[in-house]
Structure formats: C-alpha cells, structure tokens
Structure 1
Amino acid sequence: MRAIRRGDRGNAVAEIRSILRSLELLPPMRELGTRAEFDEQTEVAVRAFQQSRGLSVDGQVGDETWRALDAARWRLGARTLYQSVPDPLVGDDVRQLQERLLEMGYDVGRADGIYGSRTARAVATFQREVGLPPDGACGPHTMHALRRLGRKVVGGAPLALREAAKLHQSGRALINKTIVIDPGHGGPDLGVVVPDGVLRWTEADLAFDLANRLEGRLAAAGMRVHLTRGPAPAAELGDRERTQLANDLNADLFISLHIDGYDNPDASGVATYHYGSDNGVNSTVGERLAGLVQREIVMRTGMHDCRTHAKTWELLRLTRMPAVRVEVGYLTSSVDRAQLIDPLFRERVVEAIVAAVQRMYYPVEDDVPTGSIDVSSLRATVAAST
C-alpha cells in the first residue's frame, strides 16, 4: 500500500491514532474516523514507535510499520492463541509467549510473533509436562501454568546458545554450506536512483552486480549459493518472499545487499544490520557476522564506518538463519558514488564479505586479524579437497 503520511485523513489514520493511543504514544482523544488527520503529533508518535521497535524511522506508516502497529494491539492473555493454517495468528502476544517459552528452555526458534508449527509444538510439549491436554493452543489454563513456573535456562540466552551450538557443529569449512544472497530491490523497484550526466545509477543494478560477484566467489569456495532475484525480475519481490525463499532452502546464512541514499549529500559510509529487539532478544551469530562484515569492508575499502545496528526488519526477523543487511555506501554521496561505480572497488567489497563469511565459521579462539585473509586462497583450498 502507499505509505500513510502527514497530511493524510481517513479511517486508516483514525486506526493508526487509536493504536498509538493504546500504546500511550498519543494522549486520549475521541475523534470521528474520516476526519482523523495524520498531523505533526501523529508523525512524532509514529517515529517514537518505529524507534522503539527497531524499524526504519521515517514517520510514515508503510507496510512493515502497519504490520508492527497491528501486532502491537495484542497483549499476552487477551485472546486464545492457536495454530491457524494458512493464516497464522500474528501479534505481540505471540512474541511474548515465544519469549516466555524460550526462557523456560523450549525451542520456538526466533521470537518472530507468528504462531506457527514450531510454537505450537513447544506449547504442546509444555502442556504435556505440566499435565494439561497437549493441544498446542495457549488458552486460560495454559496461561495460568506459564505464570506459575519460572525460567529453566540459566547461563545464557537460549536462542543464542542454540545458534552458537549449530554454528560450532557445522565445522569451519565453507564447502556444502548454503547461503542466500539478496540483491535489494529489483523489477519496477529501482531503489535509490541518481542521474549522472547521460547515465543513471540505480541501487537495484549495483546491488545485483555485487550479489553476482559474491555468488561467484562463494561458489568457488565451495558454498551452495542462491540469489533471491535475477538482474530484471518480472515482478517486485517483498521482504517476506525473500525470507521465505531462504527458509525453504534451509539456508545457513542470509546476506542482503543494499546501497543507501539520503537528502544530505554529505552522508556517506557503510553500515551493517542484524536482528535484535528492544527487549534484548537478538541473533548473536547474526550480530557476529554483521561485525565481521563491517570491519572487513571498512579495512579493505577505507569507507567511513557507520557501524553495526540491531533492527527488527522482517528481512532479519523472519529468517530462520543468521541474517545481515549491508548498506554499502550512499549513492547520493559523490565520494561513495565514485567508488561504487568502479568495478574494482565493488570487487574489494565482495572480497571483504567473503573473508567475513569464512571468519564467522572459525572458532573465536582461532580467529584472524581483520584484512588478513587472502580470499584467492579459498578457491585453492576447495580444489585441493575435492
């Protein structure tokens, strides 16, 4: 849908303002639906909501912000939760239940706020252990049992422990591991577009070139590599379709490549994002990969370091494997653009990401200094082992 922004009126704006009031981000007020206005106060409240949820802070209600607002209506215990196919229940109450189960040692995967089969199995296991009918639905009796019991897992976050154990068991070699590379945008969505004389540079084209180069390097190192799109897909892919592809492939890693843009032409540099929420739930392996990617790119290219950041974007939250999104510079910056349009520079970015992926599978005690891995040697290692 078109993003709802300041100046808009109507029932959708009234709904947004109602949710913001329930979250105490707007003062109580009674208003008629079609007369409700998306005013400055509403924009400030939307920005505060986006900031608190780890979303992109633009003060507008697009698809992802709307879904987050819709989920925020619900608090755990307000309704019975159950697995519904094909339209699963979604909400903050589901996320709160998942986080509670994680604290108690049950495996629900990532707390994504979606009541899927994994969550239903965890609830059924809990019910069986406390003597309730194991129907996988969370109603009043199950809620009462959950409130009576404390956490079982001590000494670390359960999700982090499981992610770290899986990474350790997979071994340090890249051979036969599966990675999904996501070139941002594509199709009718060109992303950031900057005219340059008779030429026109687009985020979609540059992101695909980076992804295509990265695919070749990682395949040469022995990985099974999949791209979420080709150079010109027939239809625009949403983030949910991209994450579903990665989940269906049971990928080990997910890397999304983007190039930023901003009204201020002085904005420049590289930033990397991983999954993390405001309540401390995050992907520790994803955070480590983000840090490695960020440091390797900064070291090998000299780009300004805009650091790593935790976000709850669906692209990071809905993937069931460690996932990062890399914003490789600002196309709106003359400095970054001059580098990005140089194929040799893009090759250095790709080498940095390959080095980061290899380092992530090294045990921490065997890690090597940033910038020290000779990426060209990875091909020889694969050839020697096959």
Structure 2
Amino acid sequence: MLRRGDRGQAVAHVRSALASLGYLSLDTVPGSLHRPDPDAAVFDDEVDRAVRAFQQQRGLIVDGIVGPATTRSLTDARWSLGDRTLTYTLSSPMSGDDVMALQVRLTEMGYNVGRPDGVFGPSTDGGVRAFQRDRGIVPDGVFGAETLRELSWMRPKATGGRPVYLREHHTVRQSGPRLRGKRIVIDPAHGGADPGWTVRDGDREVRAADLLFDLARRLEGRMEATGMSTFLTRGPQQNPSPEDRAGIANTVDADLLISLHIDGHGSPLASGLATFHFGSDSGRTSTVGETLAELVQRELVARTRMTDGRVHHKTWDILRMSRMPAIQVELGYLTNPDDRARLCTDEFRNTLADGILVAVKRLYMDGRDDPHTGTFTFSDLLAHEQSVRGA
C-alpha cells in the first residue's frame, strides 16, 4: 500500500505510470520517465490528486491509496489494442485495457465472450477462435497482427452494451419466475483477521464482519426455504480475496452474486444504504446487475426508511471478475449511532434479508404480478412459491 508521505522506488514507478497516462506532467516526475530516481520520488499532494483522479475515472474506490486494485488498474491502463500479442494462459491470464477493447469489439461483432471484464479467459479465447475460423485464419486463439488486421476491417453488427443486454436478459427470462433451482452466491465481506469497521458501543465491540456473516446466514436460510441453492464465500474465520470470492461464484456457475458490506466514515453523520453493480463511465455495464441493484435498493429503502444512497456502477474486482450479474450492497454505516443500533438488532437484519430476497424474486418475476415495493413479505413469497410449485 502506498499513500501520501511515502517515498522510494515503488512511488517512483507510480509517478511514472501516472505521467505516462496523462495524470501528471512529465516534468513533475523525478529523474527519467524510464529510470525514476527512488531518492527523489515522493508521494506528495500532487500525486495524491492524480491517484484520486485516476481512481475516479476507473470506477475504483477514491481514497488516494495505491493498493492492489489501483496497482493492477495502472498496469492494465498501459495497454492499447495492438500493443502486444494476446492469448489465453491458464496459469496467469492476461489482463488490460487492450483485452477489454478486444472483448467489446468481438461482442459488437456478435461473438459471445461474456461480459467484457478485461481478462483474457476461456470465453475470450473461444470468441477469438470463432472469429478466426469465420475469417479463414488458423483458429489458434492467438490475437496477433493478422487477427487484428482482420478485426479492423470488419464493421460491428451492434454497438454498446446491447448484445450483452440481450444475452443477460434472455438468460433471466429463460430461467422462469420460480426461485427453486436458482444458484445464488452470498458474499459477507471481511472475515478472519479482517473484522471490517469496528466500533466500541458501550461495553461491547461491534464488528462489521460478524454482523455481515449473521445476515448472510439469515439470507441463506430464507433462500434455501424457497428451493434456491446457496453458497457462502467464506466461513467466520476466513477472508478470501475479491478475486477468490468471484472465483467461487464462477466455479459453482451461480446465477447471481450478492456481496454484503457495512460501511463506516470519519464523520458519525454519514449514514444510509447504497447498492453497486458492474459498470464503467464508458457505458459498459451488467444490465441485469443494474436491474437487480435498483430492485434491492428500492426494497431496502422502502422497508427501512434509511437514507437513500442510490445505485452506482463500479469496476470493483468482485463485480468485474464474476461472470454472472453481481451486486454489492452497503447496508448502513457502523460509525453512525442510529445505523449501528438498527444493524445490531435481529429484527432489522431479518428485514434486510427479507428485502434482498424479495428483490431477487422481483428480478425473476420480470414485473409479472408485482406487488407494491416494500409490502411483499417472506410469508407471501413462500406461499407464492408453493402455489407455483403445486400448479
């Protein structure tokens, strides 16, 4: 982790990367662009502003800290399509903006590479091979000069997120309105040595990780009662990385991934709910993920009357690297006395679990027989599922 006040070789490389991407002037980088001077490289206010601007543009958490996600994004941003040969490597998949551009281009050409995520995985390999076969090129999956030339000559059949939109919504509609058989991954944040936000409340210590795991189990029980298959990304003493959490969802071929978080802030006035889905400022988005995020946000705000922090798109790893629609729900601020008092009650966590479950049901109902937001109870949902099952 690098932040304001740090200095040395790692800071020099960050400054060089930011300069090469246009976030810093070249004359502000100590030493040569290619040979930064570690003694002169300081993470000063100017670098902090540049890091925050880069994070904002990339849909990352804007905190001015260069951690793993920001470092990876700085590396990915170096590459433009055609800069290097791309191919699928099982042990260490290639990633970068050039991979993202390739995925978007193939999607526009009508090839199914899944949701563009900037990682050259098996779906992208299959799309490249299919394109090569159609263009009379040896289908080796290697995206080099010849394949780039062929791709450059072709006109897209569709633009923007429409092809992905059609595939995602087709999958949801084909699966039908019943919840039975749906595979849902529930991801309680933090865990193990990472307790998340921790606040002293009287004579007890309140930890976000504990509340989230309890909520995840409540949601799991409700989903199992409807016939869904559920998977938790962690146990009480585990803390997988975002990549591993997304990997669990990909491995079980989940229909949806729901990541649960509790926020905190230096100001005790910060409060409320917000929901996030995969998307970028350039318009790439998970359309079903966005729909689910909106449904969850509306249900939870209607049921809890908490401050509406609204729905936002982000490129966070757990959203970007999951192959199914995924959302991240921020369920209040542990640092806010009112939010904390509510989060610490069983009744409130039951309310949150009910709201999330009903929102998932609404997604698959696709507007059919849709009761008013905030009024469809868990008992109503169970009765509905049982009536459909008996029909």
Q: TM-score of the superposition, structure 2-length normalised?
A: 0.95
Does the 8 Å CA contact 1:359/1:368 hold for their aligned counterparts? no
Residue 347 of structure 1 is matched in structure 2 by 350
What is the aligned counterpart of 2:106 among 101, 105, 110? Answer: 101
Does the 8 Å CA contact 1:220/1:382 hold for their aligned counterparts? no
Amino acid at match of 1:180: V
Q: Which runs of 5+ in 1 are unaligned?
A: none
Pairwise CA distance, 1:383: 4.7
Pairwise CA distance, 1:193: 0.4
The reply to whether residue 249 of structure 1 matches residue 247 of structure 2 is no
2-structure distance, mates of 1:313, 1:155: 20
2-structure distance, mates of 1:4, 1:377: 51
Does the 8 Å CA contact 2:199/2:335 hold for their aligned counterparts? yes
1:126-145 matches, within 5 Å, as 126-145=131-150
Residue 37 of structure 2 is matched in structure 1 by 33
2-structure distance, mates of 1:190, 1:244: 22
1:222-264: CA deviations, max 9, x gaps?
A: 100111112223xx31111111001000000110111000011
Distance verdict in 2 for CA 1:4–1:263, change over 3 Å: same
Pairwise CA distance, 1:342: 1.3
Pairwise CA distance, 1:378: 2.7
Amino acid at match of 2:376: I
Residue 213 of structure 2 is matched in structure 1 by 208
Residue 116 of structure 2 is matched in structure 1 by 111
Does the 8 Å CA contact 2:112/2:127 hold for their aligned counterparts? yes
The reply to whether residue 324 of structure 1 matches residue 345 of structure 2 is no
1:302-381 matches, within 5 Å, as 302-364=305-367, 366-381=369-384
1:287-302 matches, within 5 Å, as 287-302=290-305
Pairwise CA distance, 1:153: 2.4
1:251-303: CA deviations, max 9, x gaps?
A: 00110111000011100000000000121000010000000100100001111
Pairwise CA distance, 1:190: 0.4
Pairwise CA distance, 1:154: 6.2
2-structure distance, mates of 1:301, 1:82: 48
Amino acid at match of 1:148: W
2-structure distance, mates of 1:139, 1:289: 38
Residue 197 of structure 2 is matched in structure 1 by 192
Does the 8 Å CA contact 2:184/2:257 hold for their aligned counterparts? yes
Larger deviation, residues 359-368 vs 211-220? 359-368
Q: Which runs of 5+ in 2 are unaligned?
A: none
1:54-93: CA deviations, max 9, x gaps?
A: 1100001011111111111111111111111211111111
Pairwise CA distance, 1:369: 2.2
Pairwise CA distance, 1:328: 0.3
Q: TM-score of the superposition, structure 1-length normalised?
A: 0.96
1:319-349: CA deviations, max 9, x gaps?
A: 1111110010000001111111111111111
Secondary structure in 2 matching 1:200: strand
Does the 8 Å CA contact 2:185/2:233 hold for their aligned counterparts? yes
What is the aligned counterpart of 1:64 among 56, 60, 69? Answer: 69
Q: Which runs of 4+ in 1 moved over 6 A?
A: none
Secondary structure in 1 matching 2:234: coil
Identity within the alignment, %? 51
Amino acid at match of 1:23: L
1:8-47 matches, within 5 Å, as 8-29=6-27, 30-31=30-31, 32-35=36-39, 36-47=41-52
Considering only aligned residues, what root-mean-square deviation do their CA atoms show, in Å? 1.4
Secondary structure in 2 matching 1:364: coil
Pairwise CA distance, 1:174: 0.3
2-structure distance, mates of 1:181, 1:257: 8
Does the 8 Å CA contact 1:73/1:92 hold for their aligned counterparts? yes
Count of matched residue pairs: 382
